Amino acid sequence: MIIAMKAGATDDQIDHICNRIREFGYTPHVIRGAERTVIAAVGHGDKKEHIESLKSAEGVEDAFPILQPFKLVSREIKPKTAIKIGDVTLGDGGFVVMAGPCSVETREQLMTTAEAVAAAGAKLLRGGAYKPRTSPYDFQGLEENGLKLLAEARERTGLKVITEVVNTADVELVAEYADVLQVGARNMQNFALLKKLGAVRKPVMLKRGLSATIKEFLLSAEYIVSHGNPDVMLCERGIRTFETATRNTLDLAAVPLLNELSHLPVVVDPSHGTGKRSLVRPLARAAVAVGADGLMTEVHPWPEQAWSDGPQSLRPEEFAEMMNEIEPYVGLRKRE
């Protein structure tokens, strides 16, 4: 259930409501806004008598049940979450671009890419140090050496770093180097990993699973938020359908739908969503138009030599052209 406190409600009144919520068998989550405080009571039941009891308490303006099964990430809780990544903010009405190679391969490859995407206007550098691959014989990543190269690229360019964490044992190590921890599509329902990330004080990007419904996607985000980390961003990266002309089917309808259902920021990944370099730029424009908060694209200085995902990686000059192409769309949104 949601308990909306009156403007000016005291800390004692808020604490009293939290204690009452615990007595009823729920877990309180206090969300403090600029003008008023909202308390989400998460648990089973949302019994009418509990709601009526809380409505009559001092400092309470209203109380009502949360209709969605995903409680804390529901838009019923708040209109929008803005996530701070150093001096970068995602979800405040702007548009943040993340770019870089699929895999961190060499210092030359990563530094060349980082400098190029920074010059073109990207704010975050993506790159995989740990690579969960379909085949056990494919390149699996440089692991900690890759993380060190990402940190070096951050020092050189000022870009924030987003990279994937694959299992629970690596969470603390990846968090030492990364500004944002990414959960890949294959791990969207790795609930042990999601719970572990709930205890991390770093933003998390959750990618949609290969065949996940929107409900399943948001419930996975709920795992992270319910375990203590509110800074979760959702990434639509394409789902598996009957279509074989593209690597995946990029579900652009998911973006406005997620914005209707949830307050979490939404990012679109057209590189994995299509698997085709030629489709990345038009779908980047579409992502801005349908209301995404950000974009993640793969960029490689020499795609034909890439150790993974070369066919979907933009060359640096193509990435710069894409940034110029989306600028008018971003400008139109700012004037809305």
pLDDT value at position 271?
Answer: 98
Task: Examine the pLDDT at 115 and tell me if it is beyond 70.
Answer: yes
Residues 113-126 have a mean pLDDT of 98
- In the chain, the largest separation of any two C-alpha atoms, in whole Å, equals 67
- Report the 10 Å Cβ neighbour count for 36: 14
What architecture does CATH give domain 2-64? Answer: 2-Layer Sandwich (3.30)
pLDDT of residue 35: 77
Reading the block at residue 144, the tokens are 């900690």
For the chain, report the end-to-end CA distance as a whole number of angstroms: 33
Predicted pLDDT at 131: 82
Candidate from 69-83, 143-157, 215-229 with smallest mean pLDDT: 69-83
Considering the segment(s) 83-334 as one domain, its CATH architecture is Alpha-Beta Barrel (3.20)
> Looking at the chain, which residues constitute the CATH 3.20.20.70 domain(s)?
83-334
Distance in angstroms (rounded) separating the CA atoms of residues 175 and 230? 16
Say yes or no to pLDDT of 133 above 80: no
pLDDT band at 69 (very low <50, low <70, confident <90, very high): confident
Of 74-88, 100-114, 135-149, 205-219, the poorest mean pLDDT is in: 135-149
Instruction: Report residue 155 CA to chain centroid gap.
Output: 23
pLDDT at 66: 85
Dihedrals φ, ψ of 108, to 5°? -60, -45
Rounded Cα distance, 57 and 266, in Å:
36
Measured distance CA(75)–CA(19) in Å, rounded: 25
Start-end of CATH 3.30.70.1140 domains in the chain: 2-64
> Could you give the CA distance from residue 197 to residue 82 in angstroms, rounded to a whole number?
18
Question: Cα–Cα distance between 20 and 57 in angstroms, integer?
Answer: 10
pLDDT category of residue 335 using cuts at 50, 70 and 90:
low
pLDDT above 70 (res 146):
yes
Q: What is the mean pLDDT of residues 317-324?
A: 98
